[in-house]
Structure 1
Amino acid sequence: MKNFRKTRALALMALALLGYVAVAPAQLNTNSNIKATKHNLSASGPGTTKATTEDQICVFCHTPHASNSTAPSPLWNRKIGGASADGNTYAATYTPYTSNSLDAEKIFGALSQPGGSSKLCLSCHDGTLALGTVGVLDGKANPATVTGLTGTMPTGLGATTGFTRNLGVDLRNDHPISFTFNKTLAAGDTDLAIIGDGELREPPYTVSDKLVVGTRSSGVKPMLPLDHEGKVQCTSCHDPHLEASKFLRLNRLQKAAPAGGDFVAANDQICLGCHNKLGSTWSNSAHANTTVAEEAYTSLAAGRREFPVGTRVWEAACLNCHDTHSVQGSRRLLREGVDTTSTGSDSGTYKDGSTSSPSGVSAIEETCYQCHQGTATKVIGTANGTVPNIKSEFERARRMPIKTADQGGSGNTTERHDISNADFIETPQQLGLGNNANRHVECTDCHNPHRVIRNSKFYGTNADANKDKRTHDLAGSEGNVASGVLRGTWGVEPTYGGMTTWPQAPGSYTVKKGDPGANTSTAKTSTYLTREYQLCFKCHSDYGSSMPSLGYTGGTPSGASANGMTTYTNVAAEFAVSASDTPSSGGDQGEQSNAGTACSAGDCDPNGTSPNGGGATGNNHRSWHPVIWPTGRDAAERTQNGTTMDNFRPPFRANLGTQTMHCSDCHGHAGSWTQGTSPTDTTNAPNLATAQGPHGSSANFILKGVWDLTVTPGSTRDSNTSGGICGRCHNPNANSGFDGSASEASHSFTTKSSRPCMRCHIAVPHGWKNKAFLVNLECVGPEGGRPAGCTAVGNNTTDGTSTSIETIAPYYNSAALRIRTWQASGRWTETSCGAPNYGGKDWMSDVSGCQ
């Protein structure tokens, strides 16, 4: 009876001192019953970690007399980090959480050592002091450690995993604590809820006149209280006396579909009380939408996470990817976000991190792979729709540098990815500009998981919930509009200058960022990202790249197998053209003029002026795959002498001349869509075994087929069984000139079907200075290391009668073509080609492989 009265008195006193009083009905977890929780370390406690005989409950934390004077109230009965009441020091200095995207650190400076009530919690949870070490027991100071509690906080599956509450003194993988949370902080982060100061009663930061986050004062009892200094502490989310999951003050899991408006304590996950993630933007995302995120956790995965059996992805919400106390070595509280695995009988089911490199190197992709991998090992089951297996794509022969070891060169152990805000922005230098060691790719470089939707367009809702991996519509009239998986990510739009040379780097770039909200505008001038190429250009241009060398592990090797290339190229410069999204003339946008006349032998450079250029009066002009701009070459433009040259396969023939395309139409794995179909072509049953996107491929340059000297007109036609890239969209055996039509007898398919396409066409077919991607050894300029204008190469005699094949990386690979007269489409003859004194196909008759 004596001990019971002492225990009850201590409990009441502690509750009063801490301010743990009855709360308003809006707060769900109201049952303060320390006796029924694992914090009851007495012999009567419900847990497996408890005293052998000691029956006092509160004594393990509190004492009415001789409490620790260095600790904040309430009457603490344990030592805390630093100098203790008896002059001893037991705890090492903590390493606080840090992040480049932590606004509290930007505004208030680096996080200091834990303070306030957080320091009290850590007196057990840092694992440096036995649980039974108390300052006073039965009126005696410094007693022996309580029997049965001589050990420190249990490690569960391991102190370095995310499945432990022995946090250690390295808090970089734990939710930040002891920082000021006020209006200034919230205003600096669009993903945080602006909070009240005890007087504010405005939605969505209050519910039914109940403050969600704020400082306690007379008559003001916030659901998630800050301490008296206005700081976030462990007790902002946890009440150690509550009989609730993880001692949380509010719901650990989402209870109903998130509405995207006011925080609803009865339904919403506790995280949303502070992190509203742009409200409806999160609630509409593929990871929160109840129709899309309906997959249930497997029994093993749910058990590991202490989720109820059958928990679905939308219910786990933030906890799918984050854990407030994640695996050591991970960043931004990412669950399983390290590149190591567990060992022993439970090997492979969770990550075992470390506080030191390289054994615990951060790996963001591992967080995504929990769900986005093969069905045998992922943490969720199948439901209505399919979660793409992205992990297997990054295990192909060629891949983006997503592995930490691929970033910054061989043996690197530092993950280069480092975002700065809710839009996931990184500086150009962090992407690789001026420092190629920073070049990298992570899942969140291309996808914002808080904003993605399952839709073939970035705007709208999850309307395409059952379209699985059909991430963009190839046949749609909107062409290169970004898909739903790219919603809310960021990129850059290039602004081009006078277009006087080729290649010409853009004069400037405009950053496109933010979530579009309800806006459906697809204009390139929008402040947010509307095009897939805008995403790609932030790395594949001089905005965020210094054109690094090829050859990282998993990348395309440098040299002969890469068409002679040794470095990456500025793709934005290669696409540099002067055009419009809606062709104004109805003709070929690449022509300087559409007069229909041919340029003379020395007057064929579309960049130049007479006598070295003169393209403004002829038929030579720039060409490009219609990624940024449509070509304008509609059926009428392609018709000569009554014959329409249509060598396009579906779906690219549907909007000829006005169609634009995605970078990922060519880059990615071949299995992501079949030749002659598209990801949205349900009639022809496209192959959706592989997700769209340039994650990985078996071919160099992450192409969906091969583009090298083995590719000939014969290997790009019909069934495309050779794996060539061109034949996925083009059919050279159609009415295209290769069959001898339209006076192009020199291009008879039977004559040239085994000749390498690169004898005549550019080796990097993004954009080009000449029409139809045709190389011309009679006119080589800066793209081949020559002066601006036209320089003939491969001639050893003044009359140009010698023959040669030229490889001038990156654009000429065994090129042999020489053009005397540029003709309009369908009007080419043999005499159009050849050197000045060596006409027609005779020029190529002496070149190996061309006769």
Structure 2
Amino acid sequence: MRPRGLRAGVALFVLLQGLVVPAQAGIVATKHNLSASGPGQVKAVSEQEVCVFCHTPHNANPAVPLWNHSQTNAAHTMYSSDYLTDKGYAMPASVNQRSKLCLSCHDGTVALGSVYNVRGQAATIAVQRSGAPITTMPLDVAGYLGTNLTNDHPVSIGYNTGVSDIELVTPAPPLFPAKGAVKLYPPSGGTVAGTVECTSCHDPHTDTFPKFLVASNLNAGLCRTCHLKTNFDGSIHATSSVPFTTIYGGTTVAQAACVACHKSHSGAGVPYILERQEEQTCYNGTSTSCHGSSITTYQSGVTGRNIQSTFEGKAVRHPVETSGKHRNVDTPGTLGLGSRHAECYDCHNPHQAQPGLHTLGSNLAGNALKGARGVSPNNGGSPGAPASFTPVFPVTFEYEVCLKCHSNYTTGYVTGNDGGNLAALFNPNNPSYHPVEGVGKNLGIQASAFASGTPWTSAGYNGVTSPNVTCTDCHGNDTTGPNDPVGPHGSNVPRLLKKQFAASTYWSASASAELALCFSCHNYEVYYNGAAGSRFQCGMGGMGGGGIAGHQNHVKNRKISCYDCHAVHGRTDNKHLIRFKDSSGGEITAYTENSTGGSCTANCHGGMGGGTKTYSLAYPR
């Protein structure tokens, strides 16, 4: 009869073996099997033990029970982002003990074979890579992280649902979940549910899922255990059927989800763990699934839109190619003179953007700008520059995106009535402006004055149903073929315009071509050929033209450009966008109006019998 103590010891041994065997069985066929029988390139020269590289039942690291591998003493540079810092989210100063266990191999500072106990004594197990002796993890293997963790998903960071705008899932993942689930680790307390460590997402004992993940990341299943991005479900990146493959499985952009843009380890886009730096993430190299120059023919549902060629191939473009200037969230200082930039994210929210543009006649932001950040001017009751701005997230109106840069919200804009402070020019308190922010003031214009197919022909311009215009009605790509992206990315026309716009006193060869931008909305037959629709009537007080339509007389007969008489965005001094002569050009020096007409004093009138001419109205104001 065996002694009772021996039977108990045997029972305990069998129980422990039952707990260990499944882990060992799972790890044997993975790269974490560093024994000589392991399947990877990196493995021991002769050591046959599988678990010994990490675990030992005796003489273990005194800081961690049963841990066998020598620990790293390296000083790691931790992940940090301006967004988290600005929100007051606590960032860890160093790596916790639990994640140091993994980094002992993966930061490349400790020999892979350096262990506390091999058959009763400390040793450094000989390790080789494809037959060549090595000591630490090679720099060119996928698992090498180094000591700079700024381009890795943060570890040892608290999961704090008490900080606003971080978009974390509530309730948080548990501290002790079932196998195959994301887990947090102590300490916890208050709104901090625990800390995120390497083994929150990775299970080192099994590679059932790629990269030793604890669960599938198809459709961002693992990422979305913690991250709840507002409106992501309906976004283009969550629904796109465009082909896209990753190591995590799946065949579409939607199934790739987060990892189509983000790289949780060793990403080139710091500090947002992006696959590549800034706009290069959106281009994505030679991929035809995103927005790079490799896309020569656009196919709906098959390829993305080639935005890269528009930015790099057009003479005028937003400064997307700047590097290191973008900040999340940008401030007046980071958008101002010396820091000018326009990264993709400055206008688009990749987690919320949807297919579709704004509706012509509406100044509401289109689906492509869904979830974008902007500023709203606080105009008060005075014309000109607003006294202040209110940051808005998300934007409601398209102009709120543009005014982040093109206004006195920041610095470096050009002053004056034809300058770059567009918040001053579009102010609804001004005497006149294109109706970007508010309803226009040049009311009662006949519908025939507007180009066929525009919203103004049916609604009229009456101040109640009057449609608005947006910046991108005029500014955008000058080519409109089936492969060309829409939007103000780049143009070969000055001022990033969609069509030609004569900014000189006279047009030269073809009014329809050189004034094409204006004739996009304003009826060519009215303003060039004199068809009914415009109020402006010549023929009084020696203005000439024998009672003909005033615009026809100027534009067709005398080849005067629209811009010679009218401002583009708005005026803080005159009605009807009348543009006075200034350093940028123009001919008009004085203008009056009354119930039946008015007068205009201009340098160009000198050759027609005098500087001041009167005009009449074809129909009442």
The answer as to 2:136 corresponding to 1:152 is yes
Match of 1:671 in 2: 479
User: Quick one: structure 1 residues 760 and 394, their matched pair in 2 at CA, closer, same or farther if it must change by over 3 Å?
Assistant: same
The answer as to 2:235 corresponding to 1:285 is yes
Match of 1:63 in 2: 56
- 2:280 equivalent among 347, 366, 371: 366
Superposed, 1:445-456 pairs within 5 Å as 445-455=346-356
Match of 1:243 in 2: 207
Match of 1:169 in 2: 147
For 1:380-417, what per-residue CA distance to the aligned partner results, in whole angstroms no more than 9, with x for missing partners?
99553762221122112111121225xxxxxxxxx121
User: Quick one: structure 1 residues 142 and 727, their matched pair in 2 at CA, closer, same or farther if it must change by over 3 Å?
Assistant: same
Match of 2:228 in 1: 276
User: 1 CA distance for matches of 2:345 and 2:577?
Assistant: 34
> Contact 2:372 / 2:393 at 8 angstroms: preserved in 1?
yes
> Contact 1:288 / 1:314 at 8 angstroms: preserved in 2?
yes
User: 2 CA distance for matches of 1:449 and 1:472?
Assistant: 17
- 1:295 equivalent among 242, 250, 262: 242
User: 2 CA distance for matches of 1:723 and 1:758?
Assistant: 9
Deviation of 1:322 after TM superposition, in Å, equals 0.6
Match of 1:656 in 2: 460
User: Quick one: structure 1 residues 738 and 807, their matched pair in 2 at CA, closer, same or farther if it must change by over 3 Å?
Assistant: farther
Deviation of 1:144 after TM superposition, in Å, equals 5.3
Q: Letter of the aligned partner of 2:364 in structure 1?
A: V
Match of 2:566 in 1: 761
User: Quick one: structure 1 residues 13 and 49, their matched pair in 2 at CA, closer, same or farther if it must change by over 3 Å?
Assistant: farther
For 1:773-803, what per-residue CA distance to the aligned partner results, in whole angstroms no more than 9, with x for missing partners?
2224xxxxxxxxxxxxxxxxxxxxxxxxxxx
The answer as to 2:316 corresponding to 1:418 is no
Match of 1:774 in 2: 578
User: 2 CA distance for matches of 1:115 and 1:491?
Assistant: 39
User: Quick one: structure 1 residues 335 and 653, their matched pair in 2 at CA, closer, same or farther if it must change by over 3 Å?
Assistant: same
Match of 1:509 in 2: 389
Match of 1:80 in 2: 71
The answer as to 2:449 corresponding to 1:638 is no
Match of 1:391 in 2: 308
Match of 2:247 in 1: 306
Match of 2:488 in 1: 694
Match of 2:401 in 1: 535
User: 2 CA distance for matches of 1:754 and 1:844?
Assistant: 18
Deviation of 1:569 after TM superposition, in Å, equals 2.1
State which drifts further: 701-710 or 729-738.
729-738
Superposed, 1:707-786 pairs within 5 Å as 707-710=501-504, 712=506, 717-718=511-512, 720=513, 722=514, 724-734=516-526, 743-745=537-539, 746=544, 747=550, 748=553, 752-762=557-567, 764-776=568-580
User: Quick one: structure 1 residues 768 and 738, their matched pair in 2 at CA, closer, same or farther if it must change by over 3 Å?
Assistant: farther
User: 2 CA distance for matches of 1:78 and 1:14?
Assistant: 21
Q: Letter of the aligned partner of 1:512 in structure 2?
A: V
> Contact 1:652 / 1:729 at 8 angstroms: preserved in 2?
no
Q: Report the 3-state secondary structure (helix = DSSP H, G, I; strand = E; otherwise coil) of the residue aligned with 1:403.
A: coil
Match of 1:400 in 2: 318
Match of 2:44 in 1: 51
Deviation of 1:652 after TM superposition, in Å, equals 4.4
Match of 1:223 in 2: 181
For 1:107-148, what per-residue CA distance to the aligned partner results, in whole angstroms no more than 9, with x for missing partners?
43x322212221010111112233233333232323453455
User: 2 CA distance for matches of 1:490 and 1:55?
Assistant: 58
Q: Letter of the aligned partner of 2:335 in structure 1?
A: L
User: 2 CA distance for matches of 1:142 and 1:532?
Assistant: 66
Q: Report the 3-state secondary structure (helix = DSSP H, G, I; strand = E; otherwise coil) of the residue aligned with 1:101.
A: helix
Deviation of 1:577 after TM superposition, in Å, equals 2.3
> Contact 1:77 / 1:135 at 8 angstroms: preserved in 2?
yes
> Contact 1:447 / 1:487 at 8 angstroms: preserved in 2?
yes
Superposed, 1:124-139 pairs within 5 Å as 124-139=105-120
Q: Report the 3-state secondary structure (helix = DSSP H, G, I; strand = E; otherwise coil) of the residue aligned with 1:175.
A: coil
User: Quick one: structure 1 residues 192 and 165, their matched pair in 2 at CA, closer, same or farther if it must change by over 3 Å?
Assistant: same
Query: Kindly, what percent of the aligned residue pairs are identical?
Result: 34
User: 2 CA distance for matches of 1:571 and 1:248?
Assistant: 50
Match of 1:547 in 2: 412
> Contact 1:226 / 1:233 at 8 angstroms: preserved in 2?
yes
User: Quick one: structure 1 residues 549 and 173, their matched pair in 2 at CA, closer, same or farther if it must change by over 3 Å?
Assistant: farther
> Contact 1:133 / 1:146 at 8 angstroms: preserved in 2?
no
Deviation of 1:484 after TM superposition, in Å, equals 0.8
Q: Report the 3-state secondary structure (helix = DSSP H, G, I; strand = E; otherwise coil) of the residue aligned with 1:239.
A: coil
> Contact 2:43 / 2:127 at 8 angstroms: preserved in 1?
no
The answer as to 2:334 corresponding to 1:427 is no
For 1:484-531, what per-residue CA distance to the aligned partner results, in whole angstroms no more than 9, with x for missing partners?
1111112222222332x5xx21133333214xxxxxxxxxxxxxx221
Structure 2's unaligned 5+ residue stretches are 1-11, 188-193, 545-549, 613-621
User: 1 CA distance for matches of 2:117 and 2:21?
Assistant: 26
Match of 1:474 in 2: 360
Q: Report the 3-state secondary structure (helix = DSSP H, G, I; strand = E; otherwise coil) of the residue aligned with 1:315.
A: helix
Deviation of 1:743 after TM superposition, in Å, equals 3.7
The answer as to 2:522 corresponding to 1:704 is no
User: 1 CA distance for matches of 2:255 and 2:14?
Assistant: 34
Give the TM-score normalised by the residue count of structure 2.
0.81
Q: Report the 3-state secondary structure (helix = DSSP H, G, I; strand = E; otherwise coil) of the residue aligned with 2:199.
A: helix
Match of 2:29 in 1: 36
> Contact 1:717 / 1:733 at 8 angstroms: preserved in 2?
no
User: Quick one: structure 1 residues 81 and 530, their matched pair in 2 at CA, closer, same or farther if it must change by over 3 Å?
Assistant: same
For 1:524-570, what per-residue CA distance to the aligned partner results, in whole angstroms no more than 9, with x for missing partners?
xxxxx221011111222222x113479xxxxxxxxxxxx998xx621
Give the TM-score normalised by the residue count of structure 1.
0.60
Q: Report the 3-state secondary structure (helix = DSSP H, G, I; strand = E; otherwise coil) of the residue aligned with 1:734.
A: helix
User: 2 CA distance for matches of 1:15 and 1:118?
Assistant: 26
> Contact 1:758 / 1:814 at 8 angstroms: preserved in 2?
no
Superposed, 1:512-523 pairs within 5 Å as 512-514=392-394
The answer as to 2:161 corresponding to 1:194 is no
State which drifts further: 116-125 or 436-445.
436-445
Superposed, 1:519-668 pairs within 5 Å as 529-543=395-409, 545-548=410-413, 569-578=420-429, 622-631=431-440, 633=442, 637-638=444-445, 646-654=449-457, 655-657=459-461, 658-668=466-476
For 1:450-486, what per-residue CA distance to the aligned partner results, in whole angstroms no more than 9, with x for missing partners?
111224xxxxxxxxxxxxxxx12215xxx11111111
> Contact 1:537 / 1:571 at 8 angstroms: preserved in 2?
yes
> Contact 2:406 / 2:421 at 8 angstroms: preserved in 1?
yes
User: 1 CA distance for matches of 2:199 and 2:526?
Assistant: 72
> Contact 1:532 / 1:663 at 8 angstroms: preserved in 2?
yes
- Name the structure where helix makes up a greater proportion of residues: 2
User: 1 CA distance for matches of 2:88 and 2:159?
Assistant: 13
> Contact 2:529 / 2:556 at 8 angstroms: preserved in 1?
no
Superposed, 1:112-123 pairs within 5 Å as 112-123=93-104
| Aligned-residue RMSD, C-alpha | 3.7
User: 1 CA distance for matches of 2:52 and 2:24?
Assistant: 21
User: Quick one: structure 1 residues 252 and 125, their matched pair in 2 at CA, closer, same or farther if it must change by over 3 Å?
Assistant: same
Structure 1's unaligned 5+ residue stretches are 1-8, 23-29, 83-91, 197-212, 255-267, 338-363, 406-414, 420-424, 456-470, 515-528, 551-562, 579-589, 591-621, 673-686, 777-805, 846-851
Q: Letter of the aligned partner of 2:175 in structure 1?
A: T
User: 1 CA distance for matches of 2:34 and 2:101?
Assistant: 16
> Contact 2:269 / 2:275 at 8 angstroms: preserved in 1?
no
Q: Letter of the aligned partner of 1:667 in structure 2?
A: H
Q: Letter of the aligned partner of 1:444 in structure 2?
A: Y
